[in-house]
Structure 1
Amino acid sequence: MEEGYTSLPSSHLLGSVPAVITEEKKPTTSERGAAPNAKLQIFPPNNGGYQSPGTPYDGGEQTTSNWKGFFSISSYQPYFNVDSDIVVDRLISSVYPTNDFYRKIDTNPDMYGPVWITTTLVFIFAALGNCATYLIHQRYEQDVIWSFDVTYVKWAASIVYGYALLVPAAFYFLLQYLGTNASLIRLWCMWGYSLFVFIPSSLLLVIPVEFIRWIIIILAGTASSWFIYENLKVYTEESHDLMVLVASALVLQFALAIFVKVFFFV
């Protein structure tokens, strides 16, 4: 009797539930082909923000596919797409001249810093230049009536903007002519940050002591010139004949510092 019960198949027992066999879903052709074409993102890259795989970190060029013409704001947006931490780090690097600044801006040169620096310098030269002449006037020429010189604004804008735009452009064409792979945006970025040291030094140039003023402007001019020299040396690796061009950039930067002292802080 017991043998009869045990020989019955379980599928015929009352209340038994047959096993459910699930078939594994195989990916379709479109699903199999989607994975290799997926655009992954690397986060965080070295320069901040998202970056596609394969994008060079050092020495790579930014993509120019977003260029929509000279009169389109979106064409210039990538050069202002930096956060405050990056700008502050570059400002500090410009005060302490080292040759790693060009490496920092290699993959992400910005124009936010240079535009802010040059615009600030225009107002500082105009305002503090008048303030410095007033203090000197009050100390040595009290009998002469002093008046605010509005033309300082015009001269400051012409000199600062003209220097920051034309000098890097001139060196860009010279470097291109001599066979180097120079980048105009990187030169504009580097030259713009090289002017930052004149902002704190201008605050000290208000001191109505001529000897101290000359010491301050010489130190500021030396730091700014050495910053240009250290970062332009990257082009001398291709040809040592370019050292003359790099040295001329150093002299030109120091001459700017002397001109600022003589013209605005008399």
Structure 2
Amino acid sequence: MMSGNYTTIDNQNVSGSVPAVSDPPGQVAVKFNDATLQTFPPSGTQGKISGAAGPPRDADDTFSKPVSASSEQQPSGGWFKIFTIAAYQPYFDVDTSDVLERIKDSLLPFGGSFNEKTSSNPDLYGPFWICTTLIFVAASIGTFVTYLAHKLQHKEWNYDINLITWSAGVFYGYVLVVPLCLYIILKYFSAPSGLVQLFCLYGYSLFIFIPAMCLSVVPIEIFRWVITGVAGIMSALFVALNLRNHIVSAGERWFLIVAGIFVLQLALSFVLKMYLFNVSV
């Protein structure tokens, strides 16, 4: 039935479905097998969210990842990479809990497991700040104790700026030179150790001297000697026991190497006592 521009269908002729149109003669109907059809979105999980459509597996996901400074500019090969920031970035990749755990291990020298715990991730963050803290603590404590000693005896007091430069040379020089020499010695005796790992070990071994310097404020000479001796022995045991298991593979001379490490650490504590824990008017 036609009404204007619209066409209506008689309800009586509608049986609920549109009747199939028969194929004209001469034409062949093409049937598709269901197994060859693909559903969209794909049922397989390609993205990170289960059931969601993701990019093709061979798609370039460069823009989906954050671009870091190390990926933008790769350090040059050879010895030139030591002058790039990216070369030292992995050695500062630690958090507060890691540093506190390693400081706690340095105060418990008989464990001897510091090297095993830090073998996969030695850091330079802790040693740098421990040495820097020691420099300022040594300068401030030494200056304060000397000031009190002069005032109690009514003597004129002058600040000694050389105390800072001397402390910086001792602590930075010790942490850099001694591990480097030990690295060469261990390599000569066929028991090589990582250089950064040695820097890490010696840096944390100096933490015990921070509270020792704070206790040196007590104006009793015998007490200062006891504090220096305890701090030196604990620091020396921490280094020697952690390197003993590694140096044993060097052969019969391992005992001499460990003994030399122990004595050298004790010598450091003696030098600190004579020049930092000693107050003279």
Note the alpha carbon deviations across 1:73-127, whole angstroms, 9 max, x for none. Answer: 1111000011111011000000111211001110000000000001111111111
Q: Equivalent of 1:129, from 142, 147, 157?
A: 142
TM-score, structure 1 normalization: 0.75
Q: 1:134-181 CA distances to partner (integer Å, 9 max, x unpaired)? A: 233344xx1421222111001001111100100000010010011112
Deviation at 1:22, TM superposition (A): 6.0
Aligned to 2:128: 115
Q: Does 1:165 align with 2:204?
A: no
Residues 15-94 of structure 1 aligned to structure 2 (within 5 Å): 21=34, 23=36, 25=38, 67-68=75-76, 69-94=81-106
Determine if contact 1:229/1:250 at 8 Å carries over to the other structure.
yes
Task: Please list the CA deviations of residues 49-71 of structure 1 after superposition, one character each: whole Å capped at 9, or x if unmatched.
Answer: xxxxxxxxxxxxxxxxx654122
The TM-score, its normalising length taken from structure 2, stands at 0.71
**1:251/1:23 Cα in 2 relative to 1: closer, same or farther (>3 Å)?**
same
Q: Distance in 2 between matches of 1:144 and 1:213?
A: 23
> Take 1:240 and 1:227, find their aligned partners in 2: how far apart are those partners?
22
| Structure 1 segments unaligned to the other structure (5+ residues) | 1-12, 36-65
Matched with 1:203 is: 214
Aligned to 1:180: 191
In the other structure, the counterpart of 1:226 is 237
Check conservation: 1:114, 1:193, Cα contact below 8 A.
yes
2:200 is matched with which residue?
Answer: 189
What is the RMSD computed on CA atoms of the aligned residues? 2.8
The amino acid across from 2:140 in the alignment is A
Deviation at 1:130, TM superposition (A): 1.5
Deviations 1:198-219 (A, max 9, x none): 1111111111111111111111
Matched residues in 1 for 2:150 and 2:276: separation?
14
Structure-2 change in CA distance of 1:91 and 1:16 (3 Å): farther
Task: Return the letter of the residue paired with 2:139.
Answer: A
Unpaired segments of 5 or more residues in structure 2? 1-15, 21-32, 47-55, 59-73
Alpha-carbon contact 2:191-2:247 (below 8 Å) kept: no
Task: Say if 2:183 and 2:192, in contact at 8 Å, map to a contact too.
Answer: no
In structure 2, the CA distance between the partners of 1:16 and 1:202, relative to structure 1 (3 Å rule), is: farther
